[in-house]
Amino acid sequence: MDQSLSNYTNQTSPSLNPEKRLLTTSNPLTSATNPLTPTTNPFTGAANSAMNQLQQQLPHQQHQRQPLLGRMTSPVAQQQLLGPMTNPVAQQLLGMSPNPMHQQQLMGPKNNQMLNSMMNPMHTPRQHELMGPMHNPMMQQLNRGESNSIFSASDDNVIMKQVLDTHLPDGTEVDVKPLVNIVEEILKHATIKAAIDVDASTSMVAHTDHVGKLEDRSHQTDTVAMLHLLSHTIDKLACEMAFKCLTGGDGHSIALGLFHDVANYHWDAKLALILAAFALNYGEFWLLAQIYSSNQLAKSMAVLRQVPMIMEHSAPLKPKFDALNKLIHSIIELTRCILQFKELPSMYVTTEVPAMARALSKVPTAVYWNVRGIIACAAQITSLTSMGHEYGISSSEMQSWELTSLVHKIDHLIEFLKKQLEECHRLIGERKEMDFRQSFSQMFDTVHIDNMKILKIILNYRDDPLPLFDGVTKQRVNLEVLRKRNVLLLISGLDMSNDELSILEQIYSESRIQGSRMDTLYDLVWVPIVDPDVEYTEAMHRRFEEMRSTMPWYSVNHPSNIDRAVKKSIGDRWHFRNKPILVVLDPQGRELSPNALHMMWIWGSVAFPFTIAREEALWRDETWRLELLVSSMDPTILDWVRDGKYIFLYGGDDIEWIRKFTSSARAMANAAGIQLEMAYVGKSKKKENVRRAIATINVEKLSYCWQDTALIWFFWTRLESMLFSKIQLKRADDQDLIMLQIKKLLSYDKDGSWALLCKGSQILTNGHGSTMLQTPVDFERWKPDIPSIGFDSSFKQYHDKLHVEANNCCRFEFPIAAGRIPEGMRCPECHRLMEKHIAFSCCHDQTGLLEHY
């Protein structure tokens, strides 16, 4: 509690209740216990003061010469100039007692240094130090903060009870943001740095620039109308604040008086009006400081305000001005915080939200302490202009302590309110995002004239005028290049493998070579998705530019063009996690396929226009044959197919198994008298192991193998794409022969080595490495069956028998990044429903053929 309030209430009321003591209607500054102040409010000034009573009791003595009166020593002349000597306001403004004897008692004899200093207009700092606070109300108010500051009180509730009693809103709504913008402009330029700027040309440019910005903000119809309604209130508050600071009112009492004047406004408006009133006086001081040297009118006014002397001694006053600027900065920051709560959309954040409720309960306290800070700043400037730079220098340390204490109090409130504001913004973001994600899917169910609306939301949510990068011209282009075109959205992270990009580029280029008709049918756009919860680093940007530079199609110019809510919506609708997908939109923006990448991997540009209907048609025409597995990847294997040779495709990374298998298979072919070719197709993971296997096969000439690991990656990617394509079409059932065989191969790959036997394009059988190795090893056992049923059936029957006896397990792995994971799956061997497990794996292979996404 303020000590002045405490002293006053303890003397005037016997009550021990602190709330009752603070709620007394008397003003501590006008109490009878203070012999230097009137018994009633000095602003209304109706009753006699204690000084008047002293004047009647004590004999009149010759008045000492006053600095402000010059040579007019006659009491009559003084009264004519200043009004009745019993006027307490005049007494306080002049800093003198109405009674000469009383003056003598307060100030000492004529040879007293303090008296002489008051007689001499050019008094020194040392003389100011000798003046006690009792001799001037302004000094009382400034010095009181060192020991009697109200913000050192422990009972804030009592203080706030008084403040809340002044709050009587009548529903008046005021848009105070334009007013606060003007105030911010004033306070931003009202600094000592601007006043002592010696570079006139720089100052003029800056001034012109700032004026232009101010005109843009403030010279609008609504702002002018708002100022017309509020200017009287602002002027009244400015006058009252200056007067009460000059006459020595304490901060709490002045604040209560100001709150009474704005009782009918809401809290944000109260604060804005009081802040504007302060800016009016504060800005006037600094305006004079900045232009008095070049403007005669400003110079004359500045002399009256002692501005030239203050500016000449600006160096020792710099700590005071720095403390003022720091406090003003905190006041503005807290004001912004308070106003931001009013701007929050009520449809997303209501008063029932805990963070909002906490903030609203704290707003009155925040407004109060901000006003206390404003009053402290006003008092500092008033002290300089009324008492001169000497007092400002001599009292700098004490006053800086009070300003620093207020900064600490206000900064604490800022920290609290910002936390609540962050929580509110987080909640608003979540709810807005939820609304957007719901409307995103509905957008595709609406008929559109063209695809511009949907593409703008997906590719250019931030309204970039040139949101796309043309991979051919290497120039940025407008979204209009995609209007009424079939658009394929390649959605991926920044970790898309080079193998993937290489194969995709090859397919894309082949489709363009097929002729201009195909070229006009669709455009491809890369949509880079970066995790919104991860900081976008320079390394990520380099990777983005590296990927973009290799793409011959369009790409989004920067990942930040893709809004966070759009990224989430893409995941919701198209099950994107990190593994690339290819969404197909027609010229009206309708979704033709949620992921045509499987089609593109399996059939290339033949799958155009990449619709679900086209995908189903292609599957209807397919059979389980070798060309489906190898497509046109390798002309050598296709030549073997045309020649009707027996072909072993085999995989795995076990070098010993590879040696035994190729050796026994070759021996079997020689014994059976058949033409047999073998091709090694590697493994879906463990790229380095595959490379070592290829090297061994080449050195020992064990069989034919693909030298380019990109072909191995593409082989396994196509197999996985076949599985996901079937799942997407809801055709992943046991009645589908192709699906059964694909599942077997993918399962074998997880368990290690495997092999598949074909004759020409016909696939005879496939199996685990153990059974496919044992079958040629045991050739002599099933050789007798060849004359009767042929080599093909003999091999298959014997292998199937071994396969049943081996009873090998089947398993499939679906990375979470794959997006679409089937709810259930039957075993391709025994057709039972397979168990579902959650597995965590690390193969220590950062460059695997099928990257982990």
Helix, coil or strand: residue 212: helix
Using CA atoms, how far apart are residues 626 and 607, in angstroms rounded to an integer? 19
The number of residues in the chain equals 853
Give me 429's structure tokens.
């973001």
Contacts of 725 (CB under 8 A, 6+ apart): 598, 599, 602, 615, 619
Output the 3-class SS for 765-778.
EEEEHHHHHHHHHC
Residue with tokens 């602002």: 234
Q: Residue type at 92?
A: Q
Instruction: Tell me how far apart the alpha carbons of residues 168 and 150 are, in angstroms, rounded to a whole number.
Output: 24
C-beta neighbour count of 533 within 10 angstroms: 6
Helix segments in 597-673, DSSP class H: 597-603, 612-620, 626-630, 635-642, 655-672
pLDDT at position 192, please? 63
Is 309 in a helix, a strand, or coil? helix
> For 828, phi and psi rounded to 5 degrees?
-70, -10
- Report residue 306: phi and psi, to 5°: 60, 25
Q: Which residues contact 765 (CB under 8 A, 6 or more apart)?
A: 756, 757, 795, 796, 799, 800
Residue 202: alpha-carbon gap to chain centroid: 35
SS3 content of the chain, % helix, strand, coil (to 5): 60, 5, 30
> Coil, helix or strand for 680?
strand
Cα–Cα distance between 105 and 547 in angstroms, integer? 89
- Angstrom CA distances, 175 to 73, 215, 269, 273, 536, stand at 54, 18, 8, 11, 38
Name which of 180, 350, 185 is nearest 270 in CA terms.
Answer: 180
Q: What is the pLDDT of residue 321?
A: 79
Question: What pLDDT does residue 453 have?
Answer: 92
Residue 846 · residue 839 · CB < 8 Å: no
pLDDT score at 569? 92
Question: From residue 127, how far is each of 121, 138, 514 by CA, in Å?
Answer: 11, 16, 99
Q: Alpha-carbon distance 662 to 679, whole Å? A: 10
Name the DSSP letter for residue 490.
E
Q: Residue 237 has which token pair?
A: 């508050």
> What is the pLDDT, as a whole number, of residue 733?
61
**Which ranges of 778-853 does DSSP label H, i.e. alpha helix?**
779-782, 786-806
Answer yes or no: are the C-beta atoms of 17 and 34 closer than 8 Å: no
Buried b (16+ CB within 10 A) or exposed e, 722-735: bbbbbbbeeebeee
Paired tokens of 705: 């193998």
What is residue 806's predicted lDDT score, i.e. its pLDDT?
A: 66
Q: Which of 735, 764, 742, 748 is nearest to 645 (CA)?
A: 764
CA distance 611 to 593: 5
The structure tokens listed for 718 are: 């196509």
Distance CA 241, CA 239 (A): 5
Query: Strand, coil or helix: what is 591?
Result: strand
CA dihedral 628, 631, 633, 636 (to 10 degrees): 90
Locate 344 and state its tokens. 């929050």
Q: Are 373 and 410 in contact (CB under 8 A)?
A: yes
Strands 762-768 and 754-759, bridge-based pairing = antiparallel
752 conformational bin, left if phi > 0, alpha if psi -120 to 50, beta if neither: left
Q: Please return the burial class of 839, using the count of CB atoms within 10 Å of its CB with bins 0-12, 13-18 and 19+.
A: exposed
Q: What is each CA distance from 762 to 317, 604, 644, 737, 757, in whole angstroms?
A: 97, 23, 9, 14, 9
Q: How far is CA 674 from CA 94, 143, 549, in A?
A: 125, 112, 50
SS3 of residue 345 by DSSP: coil
Residue 562 sits at the vertex; the CA angle it makes with 556 and 563, to the nearest 5 degrees, is: 165
Supply 252's token pair: 């709490």
Q: Report the alpha-carbon distance of residue 487 to residue 523 in Å, rounded.
A: 5
How remote is the C-alpha of 447 from its chain's centroid? 34
Residues 6+ apart with CB under 8 A from 762: 625, 626
Residue-range domains of the chain with CATH:
3-148 (no CATH), 150-430 (no CATH), 453-620 (3.40.30.10), 626-818 (no CATH)
The DSSP 8-state label assigned to residue 524 in this structure reads: E
Q: How far apart are CA 233 and CA 172, in angstroms?
A: 14
**Block residue for tokens 């495709």:** 649
CA distance 513 to 496: 25
Residue 102 tokens read as 């009383």
Query: Quick one: pLDDT at residue 514?
Result: 59
Which of these, 27, 33, 20, lies nearest to 256 by C-alpha position?
27
Q: Measure CA 452 to chain center.
A: 28
Compute the distance between CA of residue 4 and CA of residue 147 in angstroms, rounded to an integer.
10
Bridge-based pairing of strands 646-651 and 676-680 is parallel
**CB count in 10 Å sphere of residue 277:** 26
C-beta separation of 41 from 25 below 8 A:
no
DSSP for residue 692: H
**Quick check: helix, strand or coil at residue 764?**
strand
pLDDT, tens digit (0-9, with 9 covering 90-100), for 345-370 = 989 999 899 999 999 999 999 999 99
| Ranges under pLDDT 70 in the chain | 1-155, 191-222, 313-316, 386-400, 513-520, 731-734, 806-853
Q: SS3 of 470, please?
A: strand
d(Cα 791, Cα 804) in Å, to the nearest integer? 20
Q: At which residue do the structure tokens 């006058």 appear?
A: 239
Task: Return the closest-CA partner of residue 235 out of 183, 279, 270, 265.
Answer: 279
The amino acid occupying position 202 is T
CA distances, 258 to each of 234, 240, 246, 565, 580 (Å): 11, 8, 15, 46, 64
